Amino acid sequence: MGPDCPVPFGPGERILLAHGGGGRLMRELIEKELLPALRNPALEALADGAVLDAPHGRLAFSTDGFVVQPLFFPGGDIGTLAVNGTVNDIAMCGAEPLHLSLGFIIEEGLPIADLRRVVASVAAASRAARVRIVTGDTKVVEHGKGDGLFVHTSGVGVVRAADPLGAERVRPGDAVLVSGPIGQHGVAVMAVREGLAFAKPILSDCAPVADAVLALIEAGVKLRCLRDPTRGGVATALNEIASQALVEIELDEAALPVSDEVAGACEVLGLDPLYVACEGRFLAVVAPEGAARALGVLRSREDCRGAARIATVKPAAAGLVTVRTPIGGVRVVDVLSGEQLPRIC
Amino acid sequence: MGPDCPVPFGPGERILLAHGGGGRLMRELIEKELLPALRNPALEALADGAVLDAPHGRLAFSTDGFVVQPLFFPGGDIGTLAVNGTVNDIAMCGAEPLHLSLGFIIEEGLPIADLRRVVASVAAASRAARVRIVTGDTKVVEHGKGDGLFVHTSGVGVVRAADPLGAERVRPGDAVLVSGPIGQHGVAVMAVREGLAFAKPILSDCAPVADAVLALIEAGVKLRCLRDPTRGGVATALNEIASQALVEIELDEAALPVSDEVAGACEVLGLDPLYVACEGRFLAVVAPEGAARALGVLRSREDCRGAARIATVKPAAAGLVTVRTPIGGVRVVDVLSGEQLPRIC
């Protein structure tokens, strides 16, 4: 075997079915691979659940499953995605994320080095988002019955927004902001999957957005609705809002922040950036009088420099999203039947 | 084709990859298959997360993944298991379960009829356990990259036990109770997997135990520690407690409630009932003075008629579980390396 031949792993370096059996091997896996990276008092009890102080305020509770392929991609991996995905869902409730649960479904044969790398990412992403992994679960399925690793996270947070948020609060005249350039996550995953190499690699935007949301709340911006444009991208998220609010959302195509790299990659891959998932951006629908202030708050932050006002809400009999093109035309931006990018998160 | 031949499903009757894409098909799946069965105000918002009133008291938070094969077994299915598994983990914190999240990872090609059946079970089990599914997530992976259906649930509850519970509170002299006959769940799943037919089919014990736990708390029984003997069974759960408490737990083999059917099936299958998973039983370690009362409270309940005092805690230098055999011998009951029954939950 030359140096490039893969060296076969010994059995101890890959996950075995028995690692999910509840016995000694599972205990070792948890104590050697998971606890040291994620340690905190609630998790350390290794009980069936975590007991936590109740926050003073309403609770936000959310869950997300992650099946991204490949597990590792430029700018992140399934671990960073699993933490930020749920942190961001909690943030979209106008809430501060506090505690996460972490569930693994591991395919027998996964290199333990891969698991270790994911756990390290979970730990780093949790620290960055100031949340704790307080409870968890690990299952193992036979080789050929999974796909390396699936991750589930759920999160608990405390609502900080003074008024309730929701699509039903959106009104004609409201402004729609996006917190940064769109489409990076989907393009980053797709590029590595298709084996494309760009002069400058496109990194996933995977990041927590909770601090930016809390900054808007602290600034007293009148928020109507928050949504993170993950699967299905900005187009799908706006369609969901429009159909729940029964309004037209008119996009200003020229205002949409899309980097040259993403625009170029989308052309090569035959994708429309409007439908490509972000994992570190959010859409904020704000009352007209708060739009300029909200944009200022976002742009003053390092992580939202590229924020933009991208759409205006208009009255309509049924929910729809339209786009005003740079040459003055108008077309309807519909929801796709499925997804142009499967298993992006 | 004769009447016994399976009729091929049309594409609309099986899950497609596009059902997980975040687009119109996914919306239809959620609105037609999930919402009608699980409907409640928090879920109906179809937002990124649920906003809930904070309970008055400490929070319990737990998560569990479910990969059982087959998906349907005598006495339950992956849906009943997913609800009761997390409800029971919350109960083991001395808490009343309130809200659940529900995550599906579906393998492309799963008959929608199977999904519908699981969702109906989730709905029925939630009603029986008086919890609500308040938030959820659905992913789809390609055929051959999953195994029909994996389910993740997380739960939030409010702690009702006056004193903290935990293995570290267990003291020599304490009594160990089990809430009913052991081993039914594992044997029920294994029998159907092995194609065994018994004169009287063995049903899984899958059920919520929260009400029984709350009854003990309301009766003022001094609880030290609660644990549900799922993967690895009673032997593994007791070993976990013993090693965390640094005590010996001496089992009285003659007192262990095992039905004749389960004992017979275990012989056929080559299993030790002590290691076989239960999904509707719990172990309660109670202070000596509370043991008789706790047993009375349990046995007065329809769902805990078969409760028994099965072990006594003794001082020891290191944690271990021993069994006093009917003829007076003593042997050590160790933890298995893996699991005699893979993918039982």
State ipTM.
0.93
Interface of A with B in 94-123 (CB under 8 A): 95, 99, 101-105
In sequence order, the 6+-apart residues with CB closer than 8 A to the CB of A9 are A111
pLDDT confidence bin for B327, thresholds 50/70/90: confident
Put simply, the answer to whether A64 touches B150 (Cβ < 8 Å) is no
The closest of A258, A306, A313 to A285, measured between CA atoms, is A313
Half-sphere exposure of A322 (CA within 13 A, CB side): 17
Cis check: omega of the bond before A3, within 30 degrees of 0: no
Residues facing A60 on adjacent strands = A157, B51
d(CA A179, CA A160): 19
| pLDDT value for B339 | 63
pLDDT confidence bin for A325, thresholds 50/70/90: confident
What SS3 class is residue A290? helix
Average pLDDT estimate for B84-88: 97
The separation between CA A245 and the C-alpha centre of its own chain, rounded to angstroms, equals: 24
Please report residues of B whose CB lies closer than 8 A to that of A144.
Answer: 144
Least confident interval from A181-185, A237-241, A334-338: A334-338
| pLDDT value for B199 | 81
Least confident interval from A211-225, A286-300, A315-329, B40-54: B40-54
Note the pLDDT tens digit of each residue in A121-147. Answer: 999 999 999 999 999 999 999 999 999
DSSP of B53-78, one letter per residue? PPPSS-EEEEEEEE--SSSEETTEEH
d(CA A79, CA A72): 9
| pLDDT value for B128 | 97
Does any CB of chain B come closer than 8 Å to the CB of residue A338? yes
Does any CB of chain A come closer than 8 Å to the CB of residue B342? yes
| pLDDT value for A149 | 98
The separation between CA A9 and the C-alpha centre of its own chain, rounded to angstroms, equals: 33
| pLDDT value for A163 | 93
Note the pLDDT tens digit of each residue in A250-294. Answer: 999 999 999 999 999 999 889 999 999 999 999 999 999 999 999
Tokens 């005699």 sit on residue:
B340
pLDDT tops 60 at residue B321: yes
Suggest the residue from B40, B51, B193, B240 to mutate for an interface test with chain A (most A CBs closer than 10 A). Answer: B51
Average pLDDT estimate for B87-114: 96
- Where are the extended beta strands (E) located within chain B? 50-52, 59-66, 72-73, 76-77, 95-107, 132-141, 149-159, 175-178, 223-227, 247-252, 283-286, 308-315, 320-324, 330-332
Tokens 């519909």 sit on residue:
A334
pLDDT tops 80 at residue B10: no
| pLDDT value for A12 | 60
| pLDDT value for B3 | 35
Interface of A with B in 249-308 (CB under 8 A): 277
To the nearest whole angstrom, how far is the Cα of A118 from the nearest Cα of chain B? 18
What SS3 class is residue B338? coil
In sequence order, the 6+-apart residues with CB closer than 8 A to the CB of B28 are none
d(CA A288, CA B261): 70
What SS3 class is residue B272? coil
Q: Is B6 exposed, middle or buried (0-12, 13-18, 19+ CB in 10 A)?
A: exposed
DSSP of A149-174, one letter per residue? EEEEEEEEEEE--SS---GGG--TT-
Note the pLDDT tens digit of each residue in B258-277. Answer: 999 999 999 988 999 999 99
d(CA B39, CA B324): 51
To the nearest whole angstrom, how far is the Cα of B55 from the nearest Cα of chain A? 7
Residue B7 DSSP symbol: P
| pLDDT value for B50 | 87
Put simply, the answer to whether B47 touches A101 (Cβ < 8 Å) is no
- For residue B21, give the nearest of A64, A135, A231 by CB distance: A231
